[in-house]
Structure 1
Amino acid sequence: MLCVFAEMCRYPLGMTGGQIQDEDISASSQWSESTAARFGRLEFDNGDGDGAWCPDIMSEPDGLKEYLQVDLRSLHFITLVGTQGRHADGMGNEFAQRYMIKYSRDGSNWVGWHDRKGRQVIEGNRNAYDVVLKDLEPPIIARFVRFMPVTDHSMIVCMRVELYGCEWLDGLMSYSIPDGHQMIYRGLDVYFNDSVYDRASAERLTKGLGQLTDGTWGLDDFLHSHIYGMWPGYDYVGWSNKSFPKGYVEMIFEFDHVRNFTSMKVHCNNMFSRGVRMFRQATCYFRSGSEWEADPVTFRPTVDRMSQTARFVTVPLGDRTASAIKCRFHFSDLWMLFSEVAFQSECNYLGIWTLMVKSNPPQLPTLILSLIGDDPTHKVDDSNTRILIGCLVAIIAILLTIIVIILWRQVWQKMLEKVRITAAVLCGFCVCSTSGPSTSCKGVTAGGSDSAPHYAEADIISLQESSDSSTYSITAVNMNLFAGTDSSMKEFPRHKLTFKEKLGEGQFGEVHLCEAEGMQDFLDEDLSIEGNNESPLLVAVKTLREDANKNARNDFLKEIRIMSRLRDPNIVRLLAVCVDSDPLCMITEYMENGDLNQFLCNLRLKEAADEDKTEQEENEGKSMVSYSKLIGMAVQIASGMKYLSSLNFVHRDLATRNCLVGKNYTIKIADFGMSRNLYRGDYYRIQGRAVLPIRWMSWESILLGKFTMASDVWAFGVTLWEILTLCKEQPYSQLSDEQVIENTGEFFRDQGKQVYLPKPACCPERVYANLMLSCWRRNAKQRPSFQEMHAQLMESLA
């Protein structure tokens, strides 16, 4: 499937809206002053010209010397182009029936675009009025783009154009890799060459970009492709270790500027039954000047000998500074296949300045001009040395000012972020109001109309530890613990709990799977659960470490008090407690099928044609799940959240990892996700301590620290998306954590540039548009309630 970045990166880049300036639009020629290049903007006619760019009469067949050029001023990932002819309010009827595209990243080396089957000519317009949009498959990464009409030399053609995409944040200018190899699999020729690489192609591919940056990653089975009619192996670039005596493949990545690199994501195939495995080790070297640094970063991924699923492997790069990276990927089997490589980085202005100071004087003009955005191909006239020196001094002064401003802004942003996050976390179980410059917290009374306590209270990590380290009486706390709560919550004998395995751990405690002897007889009738009275009952036991601080102990007891009140078939129930001595424990239901995320990961979607199979057939094919069953799971989660919202409780971490699965697809909401190492990557760590599930959080929760029922609704929309994609990928998997936060900023600015999760393949349009997207409305008051969503999901099951 196409990655989220490629699917959502379809914003108009400014020909229509005017963000691209007239001076950035040029042409090989023009028919008249009124048809100059600046008039070649799609759906734009200001009355000054004749409403389009028209070149001079084509001087050669196919007219391939004529072009309209757009300078985007920085690298962009371009996925779509639009063209239109000239009608001039009925006075014109010129248009380009066909055209070609050339592009460049540096302004000097031009590449002709072709589709995945090698075709260069794009079908254009059939009249002067209609806009024709064409997907670029594969997409291109470029700063300069040329539209070149293809037509009879005697015809007059006119064009208006628009480019669609988004800024190329990787900053990757080119990669150099060995050419891919050919595999013979059971008599079938499987080609792993980089078929869309856009520069020199021999034994080693150099100075270009191709399939590793085309926004598409391969399927689990490398014999199949996303693209209809392509050869086996098309989605991957791959190599056999027989051709590499040193046991590794070396790749070199060149970037536009010196950058700070946090990580690299590599999409690998892992079909080990056919001799293909993800790499055993990655060793990466860094270069900011002319020499490679001696100390590399080495990373060994966890070996997966169970699942043959293709996956992204994240290689941490340790915030190293470089303008080029050389990585050696070591084989762990006969074959190694990659389909995508992406980098998380930010431009390092101090590194650029250091490089400029260390470089020879002839290199200074090029470095400065490329930094401030002037034409990198501009040649300096040596005869005007004095003028040049004066200009360089002025530019350097401006540059220093810019660097100081940027560094000052970064310091302030970090200070503001620290204040904002500290306020949000320290409020803990408060409703946080962020009106005005200050942050205030209202006291919470659980279930009160003015409060919204967190359902998973024990998982909040405080940024401030209590200065009061004195001991206090557990008995005294216990006297107040159940004030106003259900009197049926009893102390369970610790000696009747038998440890089976550790399910996870967090900052202040652990979660264990235990056997509870005699639990059925211990429970009152309203808490009784299915099971054999003679056999020990499997339960989940959440414990607090004995060395936990006072705040953590209070939070743990608050969670017990809250959970003791919850009585709903879709909420995990608190069965008993052990608080007469340390460690404090709460005993909850255990669901035999584990959490919903892992449960769905192991399933495949049943085709519509198989929906009518009998229940027996369905039980025999346990690896299959129907769309109706998935919606049934969502109905149960909505029902549980409807119950919590009726009590004015805010969960704050709703996701499939926090939903447990029992018999017959029974779903219950819990809060163990944060305590499991398996889901550490789902949480963003701020200032090294506080963690937030930002990919599930609403924009106002991330930016303003506001957690409400409406923010839980947002998280439910993401959870529904997880369910309908069978949890095969993380939400916004192709965006780094920083890019996810930037995207929430787009919701705040409300300029239509925000990126949404795409519609899952099995999701009907009405469910996506009317339910999922409504959960992500910018205005929290316009999001549906859980009561409304539960009713809507029930209707879709009918």
Structure 2
Amino acid sequence: MKFITVHQLLHHVFFLLLATAAVRCQVNPEMCRYPLGMTGGQIQDEDISASSQWSESTAARFGRLDLDNGDGDGAWCPDIMSEPDGLKEYLQVDLRSLHFITLVGTQGRHADGMGNEFAQRYRIKYSRDGTNWVGWHDRKGRQVIEGNRNAYDVVLKDLEPPIIARFVRFMPVTDHSMIVCMRVELYGCEWLDGLMSYSIPDGHQMIYRGLDVYFNDSVYDGASAERLTKGLGQLTDGTWGLDDFLHSHMYGMWPGYDFVGWSNRSFPKGYVEMIFEFDHVRNFTSMKVHCNNMFSRGVRMFRQAGCYFRSGSDWEAEPVTFRPSVDRVSQSARFVTVPLGDRTASAIKCRFHFSDMWMLFSEIAFQSGSAVYNNSLTPRKHGHPTNTLPADDPTHKVDDSNTRILIGCLVAIIAILLTIIVIILWRQVWQKMLEKASRRMLDDELTARLAVQTQAFSSQHSSLTSEGGSTSNSTYERIFPLCADYQEPSRLIRKLPEFAQSTDHLDSGSSSKALPATVSDGAPHYAEADIISLQEASDSGTNSTTAVSMNLFAGTESSMREFPRHKLTFKEKLGEGQFGEVHLCEAEGMQDFLDEDLAVDENSDSPLLVAVKTLREDANKNARNDFLKEIRIMSRLRDPNIVRLLAVCVDTDPLCMITEYMENGDLNQFLCSLRRKQFQEDNKTEQEEKEGKSMVSKLIGMAVQIASGMKYLSSLNFVHRDLATRNCLVGKNFTIKIADFGMSRNLYRGDYYRIQGRAVLPIRWMSWESILLGKFTMASDVWAFGVTLWEILTLCKEQPYSQLSDEQVIENTGEFFRDQGKQVYLPKPPYCPDSVYNDLMLSCWRRNAKQRPSFQEIHAHLMESLA
């Protein structure tokens, strides 16, 4: 049984109302951003073709962006090397009908970690009829689109201008001969106008007070001579001109760019003739024309429009004529509705008569339905916006013989939906009350459970309870990238890390899992609570038993050795998630597996305390592969302040990785216990004040070690993404090592904000750009380090922003974005030196990420404060 959220209910109600009102909004590029089916499978294999293929496993049908079913080699790859000028190779998608396409996404070839081919640049060609192909270019004439920088990140690019097409070709371009592979997705909505082309006179140039103002249709994709034919352009790009035609919606474009315009002097008959060709015979209700009316500069909307219709070879003799009311008061641009009288045609010829020296149009759209049904309301594809325009002219009367019955039914439906919404909201309030009580019970249960000794670890293979929510079941999900580069669609979140080339040739992952974002600059991320995927497990490709050959790790700096799993003795369960568990174990004979820098002084017969991550035996194929890739990443990390991977158990299921575990546990709990020992909450004596100040140097010493570990990770271009005291472990003599277990522990569930059905986010440690833009970089890790430093210096007395609710924390990030001085910072901790708070901590929380210090600078600053 599928459930929908309140947001989805309102979404459906909105579109029902939209259809009822005989449509009042035109196709909007900002809203028309739905995936068209490469990812979701709505586009069938037979509709995806290519000029060639490298092999059967890299055929065109595998060019679906982020297709995650385990088939093929993970992308389309052409048979021959792409050439800079040849542009012979292409991947073609047939959408089966005309679509308004605003956005494209590309990805490289992953092949389960074995491939590393991608298109650094590409071009796009499109066609509305499959015969005449047009090369896309942006509003400044550039044809080449910057593509991928690695094989894993999804790169979305806005098409400015958008294109109207049925067929689209992606054509990879390279600077040097190389093999390229691509996966693609198209975003937009169905083009319900059905307009295939318009023919108009080319626009004219105006000279206004010495300023050259050009009114040509600069993005027209047909033939251009004195008259533009067989194409579409600015009159159908979804952009409406401003009131003042000297300004443009598009930054950096010339005066007059938004409008196509003509001078009265060039037309002796006093009108401009336009011809509109459609995909099939339609029943036309109205036409809407966006006109400029700045009469103080000699521009007015048309005086009269006469439209002729053609269904066969000849134009009908009787036109539909319309005269808009004259406006001599307002100079604002506006839509004028021209009623077309339910005339049937496949082509329309309209003559617009001048009422002043100039006439300027920026958009023309049609309301029409099937000629068979003679109805102005055509069926809409669920989830897509309609291609109609606002501001219906009051002179246009709609036949409402059936409208009252339809409205009555819809009102009844809406009343039922509103009742359901009230019930859902009531249940959510009740559920929150239950969650607060259950959270306390979970914490008590965890404390009791960790105190119990159980049997040997080899018998611990019980099934896990998933904490994750299911993914959205919506067929359509709009994509709103806030920047053109490296913004990943939320429904395409990667589950676990995969590999990309870093500066030291380490294979590492940069795709998202629990946190819905893409790591900037191709940087892989370190901390993910790796077995805590909140994505719904795939139904295909699950393998219960697989022996893994150890040559998988060949080529690493230090190959991981297989540890005898019978020598692991279970002590405590540290955490659990959808795909596995984290256990605290004793490892007998682990000393033989340690490097020299990890050798211990105890008797070699003494078991060593370790943390063991296990993968469920019924985990799907992708989770298993990604678990092995994480082992490969961690096996190469060598730093005294990073938790070390010691050994693995991958000969049989369950797969395990064995890491260091420090005897004093995580830093958060360590500091809490330290606070209880060192201080009283009230009535501090002078002696305690002195002890507090002396403790600060020890705490800063801990922070120095964390900064050192992060400096090492950043030198490898790794982004941690979940830096906090809960993710640091404490050894002897205040030794600190960075880990990534925090999210998997019920103890810290309150530190993560759950996005319904998607992910959990440590919002109180996250930078504003990570929360609002989904952008994770070294600079966002620096922000988290500032919060972690605040935790350390307050001895984890309270949660960051404890006075704010989760929703208020998110609202506060909006204040950082607006930068109007209303944002709330964490306060200065007691005994914290001014130089540490003012010069370091606050600098970590600067709005501009580029102005935040690097970890090298942070480490140096903290070292100076200790001197």
Normalising by structure 1, we get a TM-score of 0.45
Between 529-538 and 608-617, the greater mean CA deviation after superposition: 529-538
Give the structure, 1 or 2, with the largest relative contact order (CA under 8 Å, sep 6 or more): 2
Q: 1:104, 1:110 within 8 Å by CA — same for their partners in 2?
A: yes
For 1:623 and 1:54, the matched residues in 2 are separated by 63
For 1:48 and 1:91, the matched residues in 2 are separated by 14
Inter-CA distance 513–169: structure 2 relative to 1 (3 Å threshold): farther
Shift of 1:770: 34
Q: Secondary structure at the match of 1:6?
A: coil
Shift of 1:274: 0.3
Inter-CA distance 485–755: structure 2 relative to 1 (3 Å threshold): same
Inter-CA distance 352–58: structure 2 relative to 1 (3 Å threshold): farther
Task: Encode CA deviations 1:317-352: one digit per residue, 9 max, x unaligned.
Answer: 11111110100000000000000001000xxxxx57
Between 516-525 and 699-708, the greater mean CA deviation after superposition: 516-525
**What residue number does 1:435 align with?**
none
Q: Which of 352, 366, 374 is the equivalent residue of 2:372?
A: 352
Shift of 1:57: 2.1
Q: Secondary structure at the match of 1:719?
A: helix
Task: Encode CA deviations 1:690-721: one digit per residue, 9 max, x unaligned.
Answer: 99999999999999999999999999999999
Q: 1:639, 1:786 within 8 Å by CA — same for their partners in 2?
A: yes
Q: 1:26, 1:70 within 8 Å by CA — same for their partners in 2?
A: yes
Shift of 1:258: 0.6
Task: Encode CA deviations 1:190-239: one digit per residue, 9 max, x unaligned.
Answer: 10000000010010000100000000010001011111111111100000
Inter-CA distance 47–284: structure 2 relative to 1 (3 Å threshold): same
Q: Secondary structure at the match of 1:142?
A: strand
Aligned residue pair count: 768
Question: Structure 1: which 5+ runs fail to align?
Answer: 346-350, 419-425, 428-437
Task: Encode CA deviations 1:630-658: one digit per residue, 9 max, x unaligned.
Answer: 99999999999999999999999999999
Shift of 1:301: 0.6
Task: Encode CA deviations 1:344-402: one digit per residue, 9 max, x unaligned.
Answer: 00xxxxx5799999999999999xxx999999999999999999999999999999999
Q: 2:108, 2:148 within 8 Å by CA — same for their partners in 1?
A: yes
For 1:47 and 1:516, the matched residues in 2 are separated by 36
Q: 2:591, 2:604 within 8 Å by CA — same for their partners in 1?
A: yes
Q: Secondary structure at the match of 2:30?
A: helix
Inter-CA distance 260–790: structure 2 relative to 1 (3 Å threshold): farther
Between 282-291 and 108-117, the greater mean CA deviation after superposition: 282-291
**What residue number does 1:361 align with?**
381
Q: Secondary structure at the match of 1:457?
A: coil
For 1:548 and 1:251, the matched residues in 2 are separated by 62
**What residue number does 1:470 align with?**
541
Q: 1:698, 1:776 within 8 Å by CA — same for their partners in 2?
A: yes
Q: 1:465, 1:549 within 8 Å by CA — same for their partners in 2?
A: no
Inter-CA distance 769–157: structure 2 relative to 1 (3 Å threshold): farther
Inter-CA distance 416–381: structure 2 relative to 1 (3 Å threshold): farther
Shift of 1:268: 0.3
Shift of 1:62: 3.8
Inter-CA distance 619–714: structure 2 relative to 1 (3 Å threshold): closer
Task: Encode CA deviations 1:725-745: one digit per residue, 9 max, x unaligned.
Answer: 999999999999999999999
For 1:378 and 1:460, the matched residues in 2 are separated by 61
Q: 2:87, 2:172 within 8 Å by CA — same for their partners in 1?
A: yes
Q: 1:474, 1:580 within 8 Å by CA — same for their partners in 2?
A: no
Between 451-460 and 80-89, the greater mean CA deviation after superposition: 451-460
Inter-CA distance 600–378: structure 2 relative to 1 (3 Å threshold): farther
Q: 1:458, 1:555 within 8 Å by CA — same for their partners in 2?
A: no
For 1:298 and 1:444, the matched residues in 2 are separated by 58
Inter-CA distance 158–725: structure 2 relative to 1 (3 Å threshold): farther
Inter-CA distance 304–775: structure 2 relative to 1 (3 Å threshold): farther
Q: Secondary structure at the match of 2:347?
A: strand
Inter-CA distance 327–357: structure 2 relative to 1 (3 Å threshold): closer
Q: Secondary structure at the match of 1:691?
A: strand
Q: Which of 354, 362, 378 is the equivalent residue of 1:339?
A: 362
Inter-CA distance 776–136: structure 2 relative to 1 (3 Å threshold): farther
Between 128-137 and 518-527, the greater mean CA deviation after superposition: 518-527
Inter-CA distance 461–296: structure 2 relative to 1 (3 Å threshold): farther
Q: Secondary structure at the match of 1:767?
A: helix
Inter-CA distance 245–796: structure 2 relative to 1 (3 Å threshold): farther
Between 304-313 and 42-51, the greater mean CA deviation after superposition: 42-51
Shift of 1:103: 0.1
Q: 1:603, 1:623 within 8 Å by CA — same for their partners in 2?
A: no
Q: 2:631, 2:657 within 8 Å by CA — same for their partners in 1?
A: yes
Q: 2:513, 2:528 within 8 Å by CA — same for their partners in 1?
A: no
Inter-CA distance 84–643: structure 2 relative to 1 (3 Å threshold): closer
Inter-CA distance 276–502: structure 2 relative to 1 (3 Å threshold): farther
Inter-CA distance 661–83: structure 2 relative to 1 (3 Å threshold): closer
Instruction: Kindly report the root-mean-square deviation, in angstroms, between the aligned alpha carbons of the 2 structures.
Output: 25.8
Shift of 1:555: 69
Q: 1:539, 1:587 within 8 Å by CA — same for their partners in 2?
A: yes
Q: 2:587, 2:607 within 8 Å by CA — same for their partners in 1?
A: yes
Task: Map 1:61-72 onto structure 2 (within 5 A).
Answer: 61-72=84-95
Inter-CA distance 221–607: structure 2 relative to 1 (3 Å threshold): farther
For 1:152 and 1:476, the matched residues in 2 are separated by 42
Shift of 1:600: 57
Q: 1:5, 1:735 within 8 Å by CA — same for their partners in 2?
A: no
Inter-CA distance 85–326: structure 2 relative to 1 (3 Å threshold): same
Task: Encode CA deviations 1:490-514: one digit per residue, 9 max, x unaligned.
Answer: 9999999999999999999999999
Q: 1:96, 1:150 within 8 Å by CA — same for their partners in 2?
A: yes
Q: 2:82, 2:180 within 8 Å by CA — same for their partners in 1?
A: no
Shift of 1:154: 2.7
Shift of 1:313: 0.5
For 2:522 and 2:106, the matched residues in 1 are separated by 55
Inter-CA distance 140–479: structure 2 relative to 1 (3 Å threshold): closer
Q: 2:190, 2:384 within 8 Å by CA — same for their partners in 1?
A: no
Q: Secondary structure at the match of 1:44?
A: coil
For 1:595 and 1:453, the matched residues in 2 are separated by 24
For 2:60 and 2:598, the matched residues in 1 are separated by 76
For 1:527 and 1:275, the matched residues in 2 are separated by 83
Task: Map 1:605-644 onto structure 2 (within 5 A).
Answer: none
Shift of 1:294: 1.1
Q: 1:446, 1:562 within 8 Å by CA — same for their partners in 2?
A: no
Between 193-202 and 516-525, the greater mean CA deviation after superposition: 516-525
Inter-CA distance 391–55: structure 2 relative to 1 (3 Å threshold): farther
Q: 1:724, 1:760 within 8 Å by CA — same for their partners in 2?
A: yes
Shift of 1:14: 0.1
Q: 2:367, 2:376 within 8 Å by CA — same for their partners in 1?
A: no
Shift of 1:283: 0.5
Inter-CA distance 621–357: structure 2 relative to 1 (3 Å threshold): farther
Inter-CA distance 416–60: structure 2 relative to 1 (3 Å threshold): same
Shift of 1:7: 1.1
Shift of 1:6: 1.5
For 1:519 and 1:333, the matched residues in 2 are separated by 91
Between 326-335 and 571-580, the greater mean CA deviation after superposition: 571-580
Shift of 1:56: 1.2
Inter-CA distance 36–584: structure 2 relative to 1 (3 Å threshold): closer
For 1:593 and 1:307, the matched residues in 2 are separated by 75
Inter-CA distance 721–380: structure 2 relative to 1 (3 Å threshold): farther
Question: Structure 2: which 5+ runs fail to align?
Answer: 1-26, 437-481, 484-508
Q: 2:195, 2:277 within 8 Å by CA — same for their partners in 1?
A: yes
Inter-CA distance 373–179: structure 2 relative to 1 (3 Å threshold): closer
For 1:135 and 1:295, the matched residues in 2 are separated by 43
Task: Encode CA deviations 1:271-324: one digit per residue, 9 max, x unaligned.
Answer: 000000000000011111111111111111111100100001011111111110
Shift of 1:5: 1.8
Q: Secondary structure at the match of 1:164?
A: strand
Inter-CA distance 539–69: structure 2 relative to 1 (3 Å threshold): closer
Q: 1:527, 1:575 within 8 Å by CA — same for their partners in 2?
A: no
Q: Secondary structure at the match of 1:362?
A: coil
Q: Secondary structure at the match of 1:355?
A: coil
Whether 1:600 aligns to 2:671 is yes
Q: 2:292, 2:360 within 8 Å by CA — same for their partners in 1?
A: yes
For 1:240 and 1:662, the matched residues in 2 are separated by 82
Between 285-294 and 357-366, the greater mean CA deviation after superposition: 357-366
Inter-CA distance 581–646: structure 2 relative to 1 (3 Å threshold): same
Q: Secondary structure at the match of 2:534?
A: coil
Normalising by structure 2, we get a TM-score of 0.41
Q: Secondary structure at the match of 1:245?
A: coil
Inter-CA distance 550–569: structure 2 relative to 1 (3 Å threshold): same
